């Protein structure tokens, strides 16, 4: 089983994973919206902002969850 960071702690893996998962997902969502409306001129500032907001939200989620992914619950063993 993969070791996850504890409640109110982050490690480098949390930050990298948040940038990759949430950042790319958020950016892809905005790009998809442009494609759906037929606009292929992307606003990279808006895409970057969406990616940053998604990544920050994921970091906050990781910070507020314990190693069992329970929000604001202390670790069972300490």
Give the separation between CA 41 and CA 31, rounded to whole angstroms.
Answer: 10
Residue ranges making up the domain that contains 18: 12-63
Residue 78 resides in a domain: no
Task: Calculate mean pLDDT across residues 51-62.
Answer: 88
Task: Calculate mean pLDDT across residues 52-62.
Answer: 88
Residue 52 resides in a domain: yes
Number of domains into which the chain is organized: 1
Model pTM score: 0.71
Q: What are the start-end ranges of the H helices in 1-75?
A: 12-18, 24-36, 44-63
Is residue 49 within a helix (H) or strand (E), and if so which, with residue range? Answer: helix 44-63
Task: Calculate mean pLDDT across residues 30-41.
Answer: 90
pLDDT, one tens digit per residue, over 1-35 is 455 677 778 888 878 888 888 888 888 999 999 99
Residue 28 resides in a domain: yes
Give the separation between CA 69 and CA 74, rounded to whole angstroms.
Answer: 11
Would you call 22 exposed, middle or buried from its count of C-beta atoms within 10 A (0-12, 13-18, 19+)?
A: buried
């Amino acid at each position: 089983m993969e070791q996850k960071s504890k409640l109110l702690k982050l490690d480098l893996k949390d930050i990298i994973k948040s940038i990759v998962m949430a950042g790319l997902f958020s950016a892809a969502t905005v790009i998809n919206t442009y494609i759906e409306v037929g606009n292929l001129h992307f606003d990279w500032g808006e895409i970057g902002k969406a990616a940053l907001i998604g990544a920050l939200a994921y970091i906050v989620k990781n910070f507020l969850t314990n190693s069992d992914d329970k929000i604001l619950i202390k670790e069972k063993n300490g």
